[in-house]
Amino acid sequence: MEKKVIELLNQQITKEFYSAYLYLEFSNFYYDMELNGFGNYFKVQAQEERDHAMLFLQYLQNNGQRPVLETIDKPAVIPENARMALEEALKHEKYVTSLIYEIYDAAYSSKDFRTMQFLDWFVKEQGEEESSADSLLKKFILFGDDPKSLYMLDNELAARVYTAPSLVL
């Protein structure tokens, strides 16, 4: 593996853990608002991000590289309202997609086909993450001003459960 690819993979571990922190912040925000379904949704998101970090870590280890663990910053975004958190989540998922593409590009440039194959799952996953975040934001915009509809959406999100990724390293 080329140095640039290794550096980017290591950076991604930190970015994924940061994503988990960000989503825990959003989860706490919604729990404070008594929107426990939204709180659950973001708690599950945080679990997913943590596992993504662990997948990158394991991939480096499986390829003879020692992962470098850096400081995880405090979330930079503190939501001011329920809609803002959803907008920021979509924005953040688009940012993470750009990071995955950057690693993929470096792997492609160095003909690191193994890393490209590993990243294929993340490319697909990010498409799903962006779609999910976009859909939730659109539902909130549509229903958020109606208490009964918001209650139903919150209940729908409360039913979300965590499923660990099934990526073979």
- Give the DSSP letter string of 65-132: ------PPPPPS---SSHHHHHHHHHHHHHHHHHHHHHHHHHHHHTT-HHHHHHHHHHHHHHHHHHHH
Q: Quick check: is 163 in a domain?
A: no
Work out the number of other CB atoms within 10 angstroms of the CB of residue 55: 20
At residue 152, does pLDDT exceed 90?
A: yes
Domain-located, residue 164: no
Position 127 in a domain: yes
* Inter-residue contact 38 to 150 (CB < 8 Å): no
* 116 located within any domain: yes
- Residue 62 in this model has a pLDDT that exceeds 80: yes
- Amino acid type, 169: L
Q: Is 28 among the domain residues?
A: yes
Determine, yes or no, domain membership for 37: yes
Whether residue 168 is contained in a domain is answered as no
User: What share of the chain has pLDDT > 70, as a percent?
Assistant: 98
What is the CATH classification number for the domain harbouring 73? 1.20.1260.10
Mean pLDDT calculated for residue range 88-106? 98
In angstroms, the Cα distances linking 106 to 8, 122, 150 are: 8, 15, 43
pLDDT at 51 > cutoff 70: yes
Q: Quote the domain boundaries for residue 123.
A: 3-158
Lowest mean pLDDT among 45-49, 159-163, 164-168: 164-168
Report how many domains make up the chain.
1
Q: How far apart are CA 115 and CA 108, in angstroms?
A: 9
